[in-house]
Protein backbone atom coordinates (compact mmCIF):
# COMPACT_ATOMS: atom_id res chain seq x y z
CA UNK A 1 0.00 0.00 0.00
CA UNK A 2 1.02 3.59 0.06
CA UNK A 3 0.74 6.63 2.28
CA UNK A 4 -2.53 7.64 0.64
CA UNK A 5 -4.12 4.36 1.75
CA UNK A 6 -2.82 4.78 5.28
CA UNK A 7 -4.13 8.35 5.33
CA UNK A 8 -7.59 7.17 4.28
CA UNK A 9 -7.50 4.45 6.94
CA UNK A 10 -6.62 6.97 9.65
CA UNK A 11 -9.28 9.38 8.38
CA UNK A 12 -11.90 6.60 8.54
CA UNK A 13 -10.87 5.62 12.07
CA UNK A 14 -11.00 9.20 13.32
CA UNK A 15 -14.35 10.09 11.77
CA UNK A 16 -16.43 7.30 10.13
CA UNK A 17 -19.30 9.76 9.63
CA UNK A 18 -17.19 12.17 7.59
CA UNK A 19 -15.67 9.79 5.03
CA UNK A 20 -16.56 10.44 1.41
CA UNK A 21 -18.03 7.56 -0.58
CA UNK A 22 -15.20 7.71 -3.11
CA UNK A 23 -12.69 7.39 -0.24
CA UNK A 24 -14.48 4.28 1.04
CA UNK A 25 -14.24 2.71 -2.42
CA UNK A 26 -10.53 3.55 -2.54
CA UNK A 27 -9.98 2.08 0.92
CA UNK A 28 -11.65 -1.16 -0.21
CA UNK A 29 -9.24 -1.33 -3.15
CA UNK A 30 -6.28 -0.54 -0.87
CA UNK A 31 -6.83 -3.78 1.05
CA UNK A 32 -7.10 -5.92 -2.08
CA UNK A 33 -10.85 -5.88 -2.63
CA UNK A 34 -12.38 -5.60 -6.07
CA UNK A 35 -15.75 -4.33 -7.21
CA UNK A 36 -17.59 -7.54 -8.06
CA UNK A 37 -20.78 -5.92 -9.31
CA UNK A 38 -23.01 -2.88 -9.08
CA UNK A 39 -26.71 -3.39 -8.50
CA UNK A 40 -28.60 -0.12 -8.50
CA UNK A 41 -26.93 2.10 -5.91
CA UNK A 42 -25.15 -0.82 -4.20
CA UNK A 43 -21.49 -1.48 -4.94
CA UNK A 44 -20.52 -5.04 -3.99
CA UNK A 45 -16.83 -5.39 -3.06
CA UNK A 46 -15.25 -8.78 -2.50
CA UNK A 47 -11.94 -10.15 -1.25
CA UNK A 48 -10.87 -13.77 -1.57
CA UNK A 49 -8.29 -14.38 1.16
CA UNK A 50 -9.51 -13.92 3.82
CA UNK A 51 -12.98 -13.96 2.32
CA UNK A 52 -14.99 -10.78 2.84
CA UNK A 53 -17.94 -9.28 1.03
CA UNK A 54 -19.37 -5.84 1.67
CA UNK A 55 -22.18 -3.90 0.04
CA UNK A 56 -21.69 -0.15 0.16
CA UNK A 57 -23.76 2.77 -1.04
CA UNK A 58 -23.81 6.53 -0.80
CA UNK A 59 -25.74 8.29 1.91
CA UNK A 60 -28.01 11.13 0.80
CA UNK A 61 -25.27 13.71 1.41
CA UNK A 62 -22.80 11.85 -0.85
CA UNK A 63 -20.75 10.49 2.02
CA UNK A 64 -20.22 6.86 2.97
CA UNK A 65 -22.65 5.34 5.41
CA UNK A 66 -20.91 5.26 8.81
CA UNK A 67 -21.93 1.70 9.68
CA UNK A 68 -20.39 0.46 6.42
CA UNK A 69 -17.15 2.29 7.19
CA UNK A 70 -17.12 0.64 10.62
CA UNK A 71 -17.74 -2.80 9.05
CA UNK A 72 -14.69 -2.36 6.82
CA UNK A 73 -12.53 -1.09 9.69
CA UNK A 74 -13.59 -4.05 11.82
CA UNK A 75 -12.59 -6.46 9.04
CA UNK A 76 -9.19 -4.77 8.64
CA UNK A 77 -8.48 -4.87 12.37
CA UNK A 78 -9.81 -8.41 13.02
CA UNK A 79 -7.68 -9.86 10.23
CA UNK A 80 -4.58 -7.83 11.10
CA UNK A 81 -4.32 -6.49 7.58
CA UNK A 82 -1.33 -4.23 7.25
CA UNK A 83 -2.58 -1.17 5.45
CA UNK A 84 1.00 -0.20 4.55
CA UNK A 85 1.99 -3.48 2.82
Could you tell me if residue 84 is inside a domain? no
The model's pLDDT over 25-70, given as tens digits with 9 standing for 90+, comes to 999 999 999 999 999 999 999 999 999 999 999 999 999 999 999 9
Containing domain of residue 39, as a range?
3-78
**Residue 31 maps to a domain:** yes
Q: Is the pLDDT of residue 85 over 70?
A: no
**Residue 63 covered by a domain:** yes
- 85 occurs within a structural domain: no
Read off the pTM: 0.91
Domain count, the chain: 1
- Per the domain annotation, does 53 fall within a domain? yes
**CATH number of the domain to which 20 belongs:** 3.30.920
The reported pLDDT for the residue numbered 1 is 52
Q: Would the pLDDT of 19 be above 80?
A: yes
The beta-strand segments (E) located in the chain are 34-39, 42-47, 52-56
Q: Is residue 55 part of a domain?
A: yes
Amino acid sequence: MNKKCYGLYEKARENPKGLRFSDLKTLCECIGMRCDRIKGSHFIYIRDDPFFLISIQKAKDGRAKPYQVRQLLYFIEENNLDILE
